[in-house]
């Protein structure tokens, strides 16, 4: 399974040009030599924001047109009606694998007066991989300006995975009656990816990566998230994914785009790469290979 994550900055490159087609083409090419991309997770996808640079239109519709044969799921963390009409902004999880379930989880949004911020979301698409079986793909983007909100969101992502693992270990009563209670694809296999807006030395990273013990929030077994880069390169700093070209947000490059894997997938991590050269966005795309 090949999974790519990319904060696209509404597909606006360092040249100021907005191109959904350029983002899709580059993402597919990155995985071409590994048998092709299976899952594409994009952050900062816009629908109807004429005030943004490049005047992005319906980028979700464009993605669907550019990915024939794929299923494209949009988690709009912002969905509002203004003088411009309906405006949406959020994350996309697209896949060519069979899809079993889709869930959208709003992340915590604690009040912080006077701070620039917006609602954040985690979209979960459970796919079926021929080798791995059901896998939860979790695409997200955490708050940039508010450390308080970002910490709450990191804790929530940890809890979402903990809850899902507990359900896999102690599933609800099975049902095949065709009702909404019918059996769901509970699985410990999970991939969490996106722009987390924190770096490995920061407190939010430590909170998200903290393992849990048996009994925490009903967990039947210990567990936790693992940065897939660290799985392959323990003790080595992850290559930067942000501020390589544009230093508006800080003087030095840093790593804030991660692909985390569950305990159950840790032994399946085979390849990790970042394209440090592309300037199709202000972030760099990260590709994970599992086998």
Report the chain's terminal Cα–Cα distance, integer Å.
Answer: 6
pLDDT of residue 285: 98
Task: Quote the CA–CA distance of 223 and 264 in Å, as a whole number.
Answer: 9
The CATH number linked to 16 is 3.60.10.10
DSSP structure class, residue 197: S
From first to last of its 291 residues, the chain has per-residue pLDDT tens of 999 999 999 999 999 999 999 999 999 999 999 899 999 999 999 999 999 999 999 999 999 999 999 999 999 999 999 999 999 999 999 999 999 999 999 999 999 999 999 999 999 999 999 999 999 999 999 999 999 999 999 999 999 999 999 999 999 999 999 999 999 999 999 999 999 999 999 999 999 999 999 989 888 899 999 999 999 999 999 999 999 988 787 889 999 999 999 999 999 999 999 999 999 999 999 999 999
pLDDT of residue 250: 81
In a domain, 122, yes or no: yes
Q: Which domain holds residue 240?
A: 2-111+118-171+185-290
- Positive/negative CA dihedral, 7, 9, 14, 20: positive
Backbone angles phi, psi at 34, to 5 degrees: -110, 20
In a domain, 96, yes or no: yes
Instruction: State how far the alpha carbon of 24 is from the alpha carbons of 31, 68, 271, 281, in Å.
Output: 11, 12, 21, 12
In a domain, 176, yes or no: no
In a domain, 35, yes or no: yes
- The number of folded domains in the chain is 1
- Positive/negative CA dihedral, 243, 141, 257, 4: negative
In a domain, 50, yes or no: yes
96 three-class SS? coil
Q: Which two tokens stand for residue 224?
A: 């936790």
pLDDT of residue 246: 81
In a domain, 202, yes or no: yes
Q: Which two tokens stand for residue 205?
A: 């990273």
């Amino acid at each position: 399974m090949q999974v790519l994550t990319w904060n696209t900055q509404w597909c606006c490159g360092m040249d100021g040009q907005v191109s959904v087609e350029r983002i899709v083409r580059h993402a597919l090419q990155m995985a071409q030599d590994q048998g092709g991309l299976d899952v594409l997770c994009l952050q900062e996808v816009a629908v109807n924001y004429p005030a943004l640079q490049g005047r992005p239109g319906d980028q979700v519709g464009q993605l669907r047109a550019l990915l024939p044969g794929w299923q494209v799921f949009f988690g709009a963390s912002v969905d509002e009606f203004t003088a411009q009409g309906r405006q949406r902004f959020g994350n996309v999880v697209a896949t060519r694998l069979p899809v079993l379930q889709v869930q959208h989880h709003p992340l915590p949004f604690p009040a912080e007066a006077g701070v620039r911020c917006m609602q954040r979301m985690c979209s979960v698409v459970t796919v079926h991989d021929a080798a791995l079986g059901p896998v939860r793909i979790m695409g997200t983007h955490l708050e940039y300006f508010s450390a308080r909100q970002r910490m709450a969101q990191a804790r929530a992502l940890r809890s979402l995975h903990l809850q899902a693992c507990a359900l896999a270990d102690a599933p609800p009563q099975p049902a095949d009656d065709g009702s909404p209670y019918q059996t769901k694809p509970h699985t410990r296999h999970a991939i969490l990816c996106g722009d987390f807006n924190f770096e490995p030395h920061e407190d939010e990273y430590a909170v998200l990566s903290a393992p849990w013990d048996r009994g925490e929030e009903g967990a039947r077994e210990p567990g936790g998230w693992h940065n897939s880069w660290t799985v392959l390169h323990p003790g080595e700093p992850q290559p930067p994914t942000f501020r390589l070209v544009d230093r508006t947000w800080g003087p030095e490059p840093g790593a804030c785009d991660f692909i985390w894997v569950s305990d159950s997938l840790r032994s399946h991590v085979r390849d990790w790469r970042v394209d440090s050269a592309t300037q199709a966005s202000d972030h760099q795309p990260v590709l994970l290979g599992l086998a």
